[in-house]
Chains A and B, each alone.
Chain A
Amino acid sequence: MSGDGNGEEKSPGEFHEASSMRKGVMTITVLAIATIVEYVVAVAVSRALVPLAIIAVVKGWFILDGFMHVKEMFSSEEESEKLPAELGASER
Chain B
Amino acid sequence: MTVAMGAPDLAAEDSVGTSEESPAERVRTAAVGLWLFIISEACLFSAFIAARYVLEGLRKPDELDQPLGLAVTTILLASSFTAYLAEAYSKRSETRRSQIFIWATVLLGALFLTGVALELTGAGEHFPTSTRYGTAYFSLISLHAFHVITGMGALIVSWNLVRLDKLSELGSWRVEAAVKYWHFVDLAWVVIFPTLYLVS
Residues of B within 8 A of A (CB): 24, 28, 31-32, 35, 58, 66, 70, 73-74, 77-78, 80-81, 83-85, 88, 91-92, 94, 97, 180, 183-184, 186-187, 190-191, 194, 197-200
Contact = CB atoms under 8 A, between A and B. Distances in A.
The interface residues of chain A, by DSSP majority, are classed as helix
A32 interface: yes
B191 to A, nearest CB: 5
28 contacts: A13-B92, A21-B85, A27-B84, A28-B77, A28-B80, A28-B81, A28-B84, A31-B77, A35-B70, A38-B198, A39-B198, A42-B194, A49-B58, A49-B199, A52-B199, A53-B194, A60-B191, A63-B80, A63-B190, A64-B187, A67-B186, A68-B184, A68-B187, A77-B24, A77-B28, A80-B28, A81-B28, A84-B91
A24 B88 contact: yes
A53 to B, nearest CB: 8
B92 A21 contact: no
A35 B74 contact: yes
A7 B129 CA distance: 63
A35 B186 CA distance: 13
Contacts, number: 86
A2 B187 CA distance: 34
Interface residues of A, number: 36
Nearest to A64: B187
B35 to A, nearest CB: 6
A76 B183 CA distance: 23
